[in-house]
Each structure stands twice: as C-alpha cells, then as structure tokens.
Structure 1
Amino acid sequence: MSINIKSSVIQFRNPQIGQPTRAVVEHYYGRRVIADIDGSDQTFKFVPSELHFEATEEEIIMAINLKIN
C-alpha cells in the first residue's frame, strides 16, 4: 500500500468557551490529513489521543495505517 500525504492541517480550539483561540499546544484539537492512498485521495481526522501535536510525517503515516486496518 502506497501512502503519500498531500496536506495536513492542525486544528485548534480554546478549552474555555468564549475566549480567543491561539495556535498553542494547549489549544490543540486535532489534525485533518488528506492522503493519496494507492491513487485515491482520502481524508482522515485525528484527535489528540490518536496523533500528538508534534507528530512527524512517519507518525502520521503510521496513524493512517492504524485507521485503515
């Protein structure tokens, strides 16, 4: 299986309702990844428990493999 990451977008949300959101680790809410898997584009959403904030490309590919299998 061939997995190529096309885009990865980090999502943030402030844990306190009504307060502004900042791009900091404490506000990390998840990640949306678009990957080319064997010639077909697929979208994956990861929450912080599945993929940590400072994930590398290799860790993202491993997380995608876990979601597929």
Structure 2
Amino acid sequence: MRGPHRRGGTSANCHEAPSMNRVGKPAEAAATVAFLLGDKASFITGQDLAIDGGSLSAAWPANYAGAG
C-alpha cells in the first residue's frame, strides 16, 4: 500500500488527490482479500479491484468517453 502512487510520484502525492486522503492500512487490504475468499463473494469472477481509497478514480479524466 505504500510506494509509488498511481498518479505518479511518491505515496505522499496521495494527499493531493480527492480520495480518502491517506495511505491505506495493510488490514484494509487484508479485509478485502478475506471478503473475496469468503462465501459472500462466490459470484464475483474475473475482476480487477483497486484497493486504493479512490485514488485511481480521482486520477481518471473527467471527460473520458471511452474513445481513443
């Protein structure tokens, strides 16, 4: 959870993004993994799941229309 931030630079940049405004805790990632391994996630298949507190979506261009 620490290290380079998806928007570029260092993990310190995550405080600039309109997201959770903090670095994630290992226990938060572990809770997501535990959920995915449990029975309640039995119908979830083939998904990319960003456990990043919204940082990736904050970096996504607001006007992205899906075209090149």
Flag whether TM exceeds 0.5 (same fold). no
With normalisation by structure 2, the TM-score equals: 0.29
Higher RCO by CA contacts (8 Å cutoff, separation 6 or greater)? 2
Higher strand share: 1
Higher helix share: 2
With normalisation by structure 1, the TM-score equals: 0.29
Greater C-alpha radius of gyration: 2
